[in-house]
């Protein structure tokens, strides 16, 4: 188990380093940084001065080393636009994005797992078909469009919820629903498929042959095995929700990290964009690692050898 | 010896879009305490579905009807699922063919053994654990206390089947149904498991139904035999009778297919039964073995062949007179 954990961590670390190199390179490949920093009206001399001032004349490897060692300590430089250190700006916005991502994930799981179980118990019944229809829509509809539909219905027509902005829990309802609706179909189909496979397995027949109550068979023996693949997907979906919230936060003007990223892209605020990409990617890596460990915990075939 | 299970007129139907499939048709037999009944037949003859039908564990699409399934004084055709669940794993237990997949991979074998007892008996977990250790030792597993903490994937197939047997015995059942318990195991382990089942049956004074396609297994452990073909019982009798003087042409054919030590010469060709099993969809008329039978006549397709009862133990489903059938039978076992 410890060896397994060590191996997985090592892989995660390698991925993180690769991601950091890519996000560093992205910036330097997108044109002459010094020129865009100095502005469109700058003279050749100004550009050279800026290049010197920001250390952009040094070899790339040195620049990367310098940048990475600072990044590890949370120093992502200064925002070009806000003229403030990048890291505190992002940290400030993080609670909004985390609340949105976590509540969307919980909402999606709470709806899709029971729905998936019912669909698996009664395949091809009306409830199974309804669930399938809902999930097809969820998968097919662009989430920004679904968000706009929600705004029209609940924000403008019914006036139940605030249309946009950042504030109390009411402001999170529609974004969370939008985000949840996007990941729900995958969870539901996975639960359904997993449950159907497990329910047809020999050990479920054994459990029934022991005379166990149907609830014990369903929840202790079936669900436990059926959710194992769901765990990995849920963790990845949370990573997706955190990264994918760029669009949702923009639609609902929810001032989280995603919104900051969107703003920064439109203002060409490279250090902020770079930091957000790196942080979200690392978060994603950590979540995947966490999912692997959770999987190992749930599946003794991985945990005990 | 008291009758533990009596089955009469058991039918299993599976509705399909183009008619009903009837894999079990009018099956009847009985087992008594201390007795081993072997239900023998080829794949698809309905022997496994028969055992699942008794346990009421059929796949959800299958429909069961029966004139009578009487177990230990209870009419199983008339009770609710809730009451049936009280019997399953308690007074009637079952062992399956696939030990590799029959245990839940997510729980320790201790958990799965104890659970079988905690469900039916008001005992503390520690008492259930004691019983589990006792039974694991009984089924020949060493270091039973440590085994309880292991997961199924850490055990070999033979060990898992022993665990399954111990699990079936947790509540001291009156009837143990073993559905091809040795088919998935190595030949050397097969003999051990059979020997174990036979001795446990004696020790715990159970009735046992052993489902198998292996006549070697039947010869070794059966007290009585029911031969099934195409969803019907075609012959019943004591193991001795059936092996020495088979009456039904199918049983005779089966016995020609297996080598008999001391009688079959090296290099000698074994017999086979030509032809295919009939389609079991829709209504059937006549003897279902007639298209493969050496002695079939026009009459075989015209009437529904019923079981001829010859003495209290012996019956066979064929229109041949018993003297003629017996003569063919003697020929078959000599050949």
pLDDT digits (tens, 9 = 90+) for B14-40: 998 888 899 999 999 999 999 999 999
DSSP E strands, B144-293: 175-179, 207-212, 224-229, 232-238
Judged by a CB distance cut-off of 8 A, whether residue B88 touches chain A is yes
**Would you call B323 an interface residue with chain A, using a CB distance cutoff of 8 Å?**
no
Q: Is the pLDDT of residue B105 over 80?
A: yes
- Token match 């346990």: residue? B55
Contact A28, A21 (CB under 8 A): no
> Other CB atoms closer than 10 Å to residue B87's CB: what's the count?
22
pTM of the entire predicted model: 0.82
Residue A146 CB-density burial (10 A; 0-12 exposed, 13-18 middle, 19+ buried)? buried
Give the gap in angstroms from C-alpha A4 to the nearest C-alpha of chain B.
18
For chain B, give every domain's residue range: 3-91+173-334, 101-172
Q: Is B57 on the interface with A (CB under 8 A)?
A: yes
A122 to chain B: which residues are within 8 Å by CB? none
| Architecture of the domain defined by A93-303 | Orthogonal Bundle (1.10)
Distance between CA B114 and CA A130 in Å, rounded? 40
Q: What is the mean pLDDT of residues A55-66?
A: 84
Instruction: Identify the pLDDT of residue B94.
Output: 95
Domain ranges of chain A: 2-72, 93-303
Element (H, E) at A64: helix A60-72
* B178 against B268, higher pLDDT: B178
Burial class (CB in 10 A: 0-12, 13-18, 19+), B320: buried
* CA atoms lying within 13 Å on the CB side of residue B68: 11
Write out pLDDT tens, residues B201-245: 999 999 999 999 888 888 889 999 999 999 999 999 999 988 888
Between CA B319 and CA B248 the distance in angstroms is: 10
Helices A270-298, A2-29: crossing angle, 10 deg rounding = 160
Region B3-91+173-334: CATH code: 3.40.50.300
Residue A152 sits at the vertex; the CA angle it makes with A150 and A157, to the nearest 5 degrees, is 115
The pLDDT assigned to A293 comes to: 84
- Nearest beta carbon to residue B87 from set A206, A211, A212: A211
Q: Which two tokens stand for residue B57?
A: 């564990």
pLDDT tens track for A142-170 = 888 888 888 888 878 887 878 777 777 87
Q: Which residue of B has its CA nearest to A224?
A: B106
Shortest distance, CA A97 to any CA of chain B (angstroms): 35
| Contact assessment for residue A119 and residue A154, using Cβ atoms and an 8 Å cutoff | no
Complex ipTM: 0.88
Tokens standing for residue A30: 């997108």
Which chain B residues have a beta carbon less than 8 Å from that of A202? 96, 98, 101-102
Q: What is the b/e burial string over B221-244, where b = at least 16 CB atoms within 10 angstroms of the residue's CB?
A: bbbbbbbbbbbbbbbbbebebbbe
Q: Which residue of A has its CA nearest to B177?
A: A209
Tokens of residue A137, six digits: 């829509």
Cβ of B151 under 8 Å from any chain A Cβ?
yes
Helix, strand, or coil (residue B305): coil
Residue B90 forms contact with A (CB below 8 Å): yes
Backbone angles phi, psi at B63, to 5 degrees: -110, 135
Q: What is the pLDDT of residues A10-44, one digit of tens each?
A: 988 999 899 888 888 877 766 677 777 777 787 88
């Amino acid at each position: 188990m410890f060896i397994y954990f060590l191996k997985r961590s090592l892989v995660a670390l390698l991925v993180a380093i690769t991601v950091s190199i890519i996000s560093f390179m992205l910036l330097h490949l997108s044109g002459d940084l010094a020129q865009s920093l100095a502005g469109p009206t700058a003279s050749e001399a100004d550009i050279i001065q800026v290049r010197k001032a920001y250390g952009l004349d040094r070899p790339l490897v040195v620049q990367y080393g310098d940048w990475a060692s600072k990044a590890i300590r949370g120093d992502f430089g200064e925002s070009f636009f806000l003229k403030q250190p990048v890291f505190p700006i992002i940290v400030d916005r993080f609670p909004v994005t985390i609340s949105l991502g976590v509540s969307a994930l919980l909402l999606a799981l709470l709806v899709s797992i029971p729905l998936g179980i019912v669909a698996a118990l009664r395949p091809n019944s009306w409830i199974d078909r309804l669930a399938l229809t809902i999930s097809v829509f969820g998968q097919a509809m662009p989430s920004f469009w679904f968000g706009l539909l929600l705004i029209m219905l609940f924000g403008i027509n019914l006036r139940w919820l605030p249309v946009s902005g950042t504030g109390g829990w009411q402001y999170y309802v529609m974004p969370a629903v939008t985000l949840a609706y996007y990941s729900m179909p995958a969870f539901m189909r996975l639960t359904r498929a997993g449950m159907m496979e497990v329910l047809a397995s020999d050990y479920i027949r054994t459990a029934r042959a022991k005379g166990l109550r149907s609830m014990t068979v369903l929840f202790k023996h079936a669900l436990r095995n059926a959710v194992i693949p769901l765990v990995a997907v849920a963790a990845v979906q949370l990573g997706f929700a955190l990264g994918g919230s760029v669009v949702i936060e923009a639609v609902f003007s929810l001032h989280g990290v995603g919104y900051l990223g969107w703003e920064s892209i439109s203002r060409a605020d490279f250090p902020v964009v770079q930091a957000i990409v790196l942080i979200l990617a690392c978060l994603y890596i950590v979540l995947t690692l966490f999912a692997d460990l959770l999987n190992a915990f749930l599946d003794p075939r991985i945990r005990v050898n | 010896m008291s009758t533990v299970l009596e089955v009469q007129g058991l039918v299993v139907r599976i509705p399909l879009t183009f008619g009903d499939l009837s894999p079990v048709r009018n099956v009847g037999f009985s087992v008594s305490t201390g007795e081993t009944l072997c239900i023998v037949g080829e794949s698809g003859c309905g022997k496994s579905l028969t055992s699942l039908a008794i346990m009421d564990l059929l796949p959800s699409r299958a429909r069961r009807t029966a004139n009578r399934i009487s177990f230990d004084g209870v009419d199983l055709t008339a009770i609710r699922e809730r009451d049936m669940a009280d019997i399953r794993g308690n007074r009637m237990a079952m062992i399956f063919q696939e030990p590799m997949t029959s245990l839940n991979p997510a729980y320790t074998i201790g958990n799965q053994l104890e659970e079988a007892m905690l469900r039916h008996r008001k005992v503390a977990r520690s008492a259930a654990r004691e019983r589990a250790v006792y039974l694991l030792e009984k089924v020949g597993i060493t270091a039973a206390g440590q085994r309880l903490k292991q997961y199924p994937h850490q055990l070999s197939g033979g060990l898992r089947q022993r665990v399954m047997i111990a699990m079936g015995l947790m509540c001291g059942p009156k009837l143990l149904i073993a559905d091809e318990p040795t088919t998935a195991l190595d030949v050397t382990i097969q003999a051990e498991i059979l020997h174990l089942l036979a001795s446990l049956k004696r020790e715990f004074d159970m009735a046992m139904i052993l489902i198998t396609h292996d006549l070697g297994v039947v010869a070794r452990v059966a007290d009585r035999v029911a031969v099934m073909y195409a969803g019907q019982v075609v012959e019943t009798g004591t193991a001795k009778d059936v092996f020495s003087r088979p009456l039904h042409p199918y049983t005779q054919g089966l016995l020609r297919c297996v080598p008999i030590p001391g009688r079959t010469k090296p290099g000698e060709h074994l017999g086979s039964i030509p032809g295919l099993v009939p389609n079991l969809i829709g209504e059937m008329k006549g003897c279902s073995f007639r298209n493969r039978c050496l002695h079939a006549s026009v009459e075989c397709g015209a009437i529904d062949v019923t079981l001829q009862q010859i003495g209290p133990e012996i019956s066979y489903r064929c229109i041949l007179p018993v003297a003629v059938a017996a003569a063919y039978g003697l020929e078959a076992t000599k050949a």
